[in-house]
Amino acid sequence: MRRLLGTLYIQVLIGIALGLAVGALWPETGAALKPLGDAFIKLIKMVIAPVIFCTVALGIAQMGDMKKFGRIGGKAILYFELVSTFALLIGLIVGEIVRPGAGFNIDPAALDESVAKSYVTRAAADNVTDHLMNIIPDTFFGAFTGGDLLQVLLVAILFGYACTRMGSAGAQVAGVLSQIVKVFFGIIHMIVRLAPIGAFGAMAFTIGRYGLASLIPLGTLVACFYVTCFLFVAIVLGAIARFVGFSLWRFLSYIREELLITLGSSSSEPALPRMIEKLEKLGASPGVVGLVIPTGYSFNLDGTNIYLTLAILFLAQATNTDLSLMQMGTILVVAMLTSKGASGVTGAGFVTLAATISVVPGIPMVALATIVGIDRFMSECRAITNIIGNGVATLAVARWERELDMKTLQAELKRGPVAA
């Protein structure tokens, strides 16, 4: 029993359960525990940028061949676009078949416009031009303080490419980076021991602030979204995993601690550094892992894509707004653009939803107020689906590029993760 309680995933489960209990029994106390979850996420985010920079730059420097880098990047983007578009289509199809918003008959005039105003304002400010310009940081070091992973990726790619052109000097820099990465992973191993406390605080806040009762009137949408994500993971990602040559269920068991950290924090970012470590242990080359999974955090958000199209159809049905095939096509195209860059930060999916709705005439923006209260519950499922999708994507691209040691993969999945 003591050995079992000493494992991280059991501790996180206990933290989540205690958070649920505190939030349900003492809502005010639960809401006041929000800083515990926020502090854990901030500690992890503190080291994410340098870890991503070092792993991506090191991977490119060790490749030496920029043609190979371009080939891997191209394959990753192609995979992301195909699977992400499929996720968007699944959300549309399920929304049309199940029609979770039908019969709600919501009157937009009766809604509190101020509830969704802040999200609408943030979405309106994020146009395509600004989004592209924001990829370029004001300064080299500004990329590490701005919180945008795309900026970190840009400077890492430039840094790694420069190393490939420096010969032996570049190899020496790559050696230093490999040692720095070990230091940051050491920091992460210390921080992650606080995951049970972070999960406890985040879950207590969610239940205390919004209450389990908020799930009842909109339970159809929440249940529909969870079932859709489960089917996407089981059928689509399961088929991809089988094609690559591994069991999806064994893979999920292997990353169970990262999934629980994601569930507890309602964000996939805290689990990113550990996912990089585990994917390398599974036999994927560091160069592929360092490039694919950080890029996937901006370009391969399967859970967010399902949420976007399903939530839009829900709001249209709930407000009795009829959408034509042309409008649905517009939603699909716009969502393909707006979903890019919606990182794993809690609430980013809701801002992206607001940005997508803003270009679809007919659906009242104020309708967003109807799902603000339950968005936190769907955020957790979005984050978990996203991190599973990116893990599978990394192994798929590595196999495609012949950079995946299948013997190591099978042996590691059979052995299971070493207790943290």
SS (H, E, C) 174-237: HHHHHHHHHHHHHHHHHHHHHHHHHHHHHHHHHHHHHCHHHHCCCHHHHHHHHHHHHHHHHHHH
Identify whether the C-beta of residue 40 lies closer than 8 Å to the C-beta of residue 195.
Answer: yes
Structure-block tokens of residue 6: 């000493």
Q: Tell me the helices (H) and strands (E) count for the chain, helix number first.
A: 21, 0
Please compute the mean of the pLDDT values over residues 117-133 and round it to a whole number.
56
What percent helix, strand, coil does the chain show, rounded to 5?
80, 0, 20
Lowest mean pLDDT, pick from 264-268, 302-306, 384-388:
264-268
* Domains, the chain, with CATH or none: 2-64+74-415 (1.10.3860.10)
Given its phi and psi angles, is residue 363 left (phi above 0), alpha (psi -120 to 50 degrees) or beta?
beta
**Closest by alpha carbon to 409, among 297, 278, 306?**
278
pLDDT of residue 107: 67
β partners of residue 404: 284
Q: Residue 153: CA atoms inside 13 Å, Cβ hemisphere, count? A: 17
Q: State phi, psi for 284 to the nearest 5 degrees.
A: -80, 140
Give the 3-state secondary structure of residue 284. strand
Residue, of 298 and 171, whose pLDDT is higher: 171
pLDDT of residue 65: 63
Please compute the mean of the pLDDT values over residues 194-209 and round it to a whole number.
82
Tell me the pLDDT of the chain averaged across its residues: 80
Lowest mean pLDDT, pick from 58-72, 121-135, 148-162, 400-414:
121-135
Question: What is the rounded CA–CA span in Å between residue 309 and residue 87?
Answer: 9
Question: What is the rounded CA–CA span in Å between residue 414 and residue 410?
Answer: 6
Given its phi and psi angles, is residue 105 left (phi above 0), alpha (psi -120 to 50 degrees) or beta?
left
pLDDT of residue 142: 82
How many residues are recorded in the chain? Answer: 420
Please compute the mean of the pLDDT values over residues 301-306 and round it to a whole number.
87
Please compute the mean of the pLDDT values over residues 128-156 and round it to a whole number.
75
Question: What is the rounded CA–CA span in Å between residue 48 and residue 329?
Answer: 36
pLDDT of residue 345: 45
pLDDT of residue 361: 64
Please compute the mean of the pLDDT values over residues 9-33 and round it to a whole number.
84
Give the 3-state secondary structure of residue 53. helix
310-361: pLDDT as tens digits: 988 888 888 888 887 887 888 787 777 666 655 544 455 666 777 677 666 6
pLDDT of residue 5: 64
β partners of residue 284: 404
Structure-block tokens of residue 25: 């029994």
Identify whether the C-beta of residue 409 lies closer than 8 Å to the C-beta of residue 283.
Answer: yes
Question: What is the rounded CA–CA span in Å between residue 165 and residue 388?
Answer: 35
pLDDT of residue 346: 47
365-387: pLDDT as tens digits: 777 767 766 776 788 888 899 99
Structure-block tokens of residue 275: 């996912």
β partners of residue 144: none
Give residues with Cβ within 8 angstroms of 44, minimum separation 6.
Answer: 188, 191, 192, 269, 270, 273
pLDDT at 189 over 50: yes
pLDDT of residue 407: 93
| Cα dist from 308 to 42, 87, 106, 118, 262, whole Å | 26, 10, 20, 18, 20
